[in-house]
Amino acid sequence: MRTVDLRSVAAARVDRRIDAIHVRAIRSTDAANLQRFYNGLSADSQRTRFLGFSAGLSGAQSVSFCTTDHGQREGFLAVVDVPGRREQIVGHLCLEPDGVNTAEVAIAVADAFQHRGIGRRLMTAGVAWARRERVDRLTASMSAGNAPIHGLLVALGLPTREEYMGAGVAAMTIDLVDQNFAA
């Protein structure tokens, strides 16, 4: 099995237009590719995604992310087909139960593909899934200074509440039901 570094994919002039990338539900067969995706992120992107607690993804963690029930746990991938190679993951969004009718959301986009609308497409798929599954709220933990993820979540146009948790971590709650969102 050959490992492909996403930085070399970007350097090979893969079509990075948003219409060349599609979003789909994660599958159990994605585990090895997902592990390669996370281990191919820059140190800064890994630190941002895992709040400094991880330097990549183990095989067991990758299998866990890919073992969803599509009812309470879900995942979405942004993928691009690279001519002559297998499908490449360029983004991942996971949703995990976080209380009654609440799911925690986390997202990562490959460094070479950031700021191209991929995060928005992944979040749109995640919000649609959450609403179908009658999830009332999404929660997200992030570095307090992570302006891109903060901007992405606020740009959804849904009622949000942000709280500083300490140690450089902020938590955001996104309401999917009540347009009169109360603290």
pLDDT tens-place string over residues 51-105: 765 666 777 777 888 888 877 899 999 999 877 777 899 999 999 999 899 999 9
The HSE-up count of residue 116 (CA atoms within 13 Å, CB side) is 19
Nearest alpha carbon to residue 38 among 63, 70, 12, 62? 62
Please count the other Cβ atoms lying within 10 Å of the Cβ belonging to residue 51.
15
* Domains defined along the chain, listed by start: 6-175 (3.40.630.30)
pTM of the model: 0.82
24-59 pLDDT tens trace: 999 999 999 999 998 888 888 777 777 765 666 777
138, 32, 140, 40: which is closest to 90 by C-alpha?
A: 40
